[in-house]
């Protein structure tokens, strides 16, 4: 089964919750950005990663805005679910921007990155990375992959939401280039559910658009998969 949750920011306590014990060998946990377990190779960080590597299920994450991209991008790119991913460990993968993965016969488009809301703070503590913003090539790759699949998917998983959804959450926030790009996708692509982690709330913001944060959410048990 595929489960999804929101930003973790390196918080190992989530993975030690009682409900996490129900995830078994063939299950997947997808994190919608700000995984946050790669910063400085501290002793605690290494211990946390070892704990995650002992889990029976696969941990998959899109990148958010609070990541050490220099560390993440040192990991090798491999084929996973029919698309490109970075292999962190035998059970941990970084789902890259603009890719479509086939997992449990579900088509899943992923697009991480965005703009830090606390940009000045991250600059002040020297923890901001320019790579939080997707490159032109990644925007193009996303469009190419969506076209390859005929613009029909089961799930879309991003860190940022599309422009209209961001406006519902907070009308005072201006859209950035990622929001605008995702809004174009929302208008052109057929999908069942869209999950994002940016807002740090657990709520169905609009039908089929889910902001996820602390909850452990099965993406869906009952729907019939698309045929690829």
Report yes or no on 98 lying in a domain: yes
How far apart, in whole angstroms, are the C-alpha atoms of residue 142 and residue 140? Answer: 5
Closest CA to 38 of 74, 67, 77: 67
Report yes or no on 190 lying in a domain: yes
Which residues on adjacent β-strands are paired with residue 194? 156, 209
* DSSP 8-state code for residue 175: P
Report yes or no on 70 lying in a domain: yes
Report yes or no on 112 lying in a domain: yes
- Give the range of the structural domain holding residue 67, as residue numbers without chain letter: 2-218
Say how many domains are in the chain: 1
* pTM exceeds cut of 0.75: yes
Q: Is 98 left (phi over 0), alpha (psi -120 to 50) or beta?
A: left
Report yes or no on 58 lying in a domain: yes
Report yes or no on 80 lying in a domain: yes
Report yes or no on 225 lying in a domain: no
How far apart, in whole angstroms, are the C-alpha atoms of residue 226 and residue 166? Answer: 28
Closest CA to 170 of 134, 124, 131, 201: 201
CA-to-CA separations, 53 to 6, 153, 171, 213, in angstroms, rounded: 19, 30, 40, 22
Report yes or no on 228 lying in a domain: no
Give pLDDT tens digits along the chain (228 positions).
Answer: 999 999 999 999 999 999 999 999 999 999 999 999 988 889 999 999 999 999 999 999 999 987 899 999 999 999 999 999 999 999 999 999 999 999 999 999 999 999 766 566 665 556 666 688 899 999 999 999 999 999 999 999 999 999 999 999 999 989 999 999 999 999 999 999 999 999 999 999 999 999 999 999 999 855 444 444
**Bridge-based pairing state of the strands 58-62 and 28-32:** parallel
Share of the chain above pLDDT 90, in %: 82
| Residues comprising the chain, all counted | 228
Query: How much of the chain is helix, strand and coil, in % rounded to 5?
Result: 30, 25, 45
How far apart, in whole angstroms, are the C-alpha atoms of residue 227 and residue 9? Answer: 35
CA-to-CA separations, 69 to 129, 132, 206, in angstroms, rounded: 7, 8, 31
Over the stretch 128-174, which tens digit does the pLDDT of each residue have? 666 888 999 999 999 999 999 999 999 999 999 999 999 999 999 89
């Amino acid at each position: 089964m595929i489960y999804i949750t929101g930003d973790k920011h390196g918080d190992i306590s989530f993975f030690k919750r009682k409900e996490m014990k129900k995830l078994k060998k063939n299950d997947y946990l997808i994190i919608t950005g700000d995984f946050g377990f790669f910063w400085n190779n501290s002793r605690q960080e290494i211990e946390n990663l070892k704990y995650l590597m002992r889990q029976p299920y696969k941990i998959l994450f899109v990148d958010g805005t609070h990541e050490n991209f220099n560390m993440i991008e040192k990991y090798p790119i491999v084929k996973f679910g029919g698309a490109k991913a970075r292999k962190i460990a035998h059970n941990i993968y970084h789902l890259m921007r603009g890719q479509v993965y086939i997992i449990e016969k579900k088509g899943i488009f992923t697009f991480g990155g965005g703009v830090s809301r606390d940009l000045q703070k991250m600059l002040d503590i020297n923890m901001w990375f320019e790579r939080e913003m997707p490159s032109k090539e990644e925007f193009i790759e996303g469009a190419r992959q969506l076209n390859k699949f005929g613009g029909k998917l089961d799930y879309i998983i991003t860190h940022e939401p599309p422009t209209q959804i961001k406006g519902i959450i907070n009308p005072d926030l201006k859209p950035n280039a990622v929001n605008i790009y995702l809004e174009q996708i929302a208008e052109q692509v057929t999908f069942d559910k869209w999950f994002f982690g940016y807002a740090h709330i657990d709520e169905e913001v609009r039908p089929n658009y889910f902001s996820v944060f602390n909850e452990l959410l099965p993406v869906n048990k009952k729907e019939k998969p698309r045929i690829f």
